[in-house]
Amino acid sequence: MMNSIMSYIYTLVFFAIFIAVLEMILPKGNSKKYVRLVSGIILTYIVISPIVSILSSVSGVKDNITDGIETLNTSYSSNKKIIGQEQYILNLFEKGVEKDIKNRVEDCGYVIDNVEIKYNLNNDNEITDITYVSFNVIDRIEGKTNDSDIAVEKVSVDVNINKEDKKTQTSIELSTQEKKKIKESICNVYQIDLDNVYII
């Protein structure tokens, strides 16, 4: 940087001295006017050239910043799409597991609702294992349940039932043996501990 400034000053001083000497040597007349005009234009160019180069480098920096912002926007947009796709895949996985659990419990002779699952993800957002399953058993399917496993249902009649109570009162009473049978049908497939399957 310092070398370029010194070079600029030497060029400016040298050219100014050269013009002064040239004016002293030239005779008076029309040719002296033209030499002054040309030398004035050249001197003006020498004075302005560093300002022009600074402005062009600033516009280059501006272009670099603009390109950087566009790259960041493109990267953000593509990351947003990837995140959206990953979330879509996770939603599909959850729905698939929910449907499979419902089918397995139906095979045991029960209808379930409000299935909720939790799972672990690795650093690449891939599902590693299912850690938690919960659901409500809302009914028995006739002909599929073993009569010896059926416990007597508790029947309650309530005139003032609000929406939250309706959800809990649709669940049926199950014996310990029935609960174990349902839990085992899920645990064997998804490799979950019995303690992590909740029948609400």
- Please give the sequence-ordered ranges of beta strands (E in DSSP) within 103-194, or none if there are none: 110-121, 127-140
pLDDT tens digits for 168-199? Answer: 445 788 888 888 888 888 888 888 888 888 88
pTM of the model: 0.50
Encode 140-176: b = buried (16+ Cβ within 10 Å), e = exposed: beeeeeeeebbeeeeeeeeeeeeeeeeeeeebbebee
Long-range contacts of 16-22 (CB under 8 A, 24+ apart): 16/43, 19/43
- How many CB atoms within 10 Å of residue 104? 17
| pLDDT exceeds 80 at position 157 | no
Read off the pLDDT band of 26 (50, 70, 90): confident
Q: Which of 33-42, 99-108, 139-148 has the lowest mean pLDDT?
A: 139-148
Range from 21-25, 65-69, 194-198 that averages highest in pLDDT: 194-198
- How many CB atoms within 10 Å of residue 45? 11
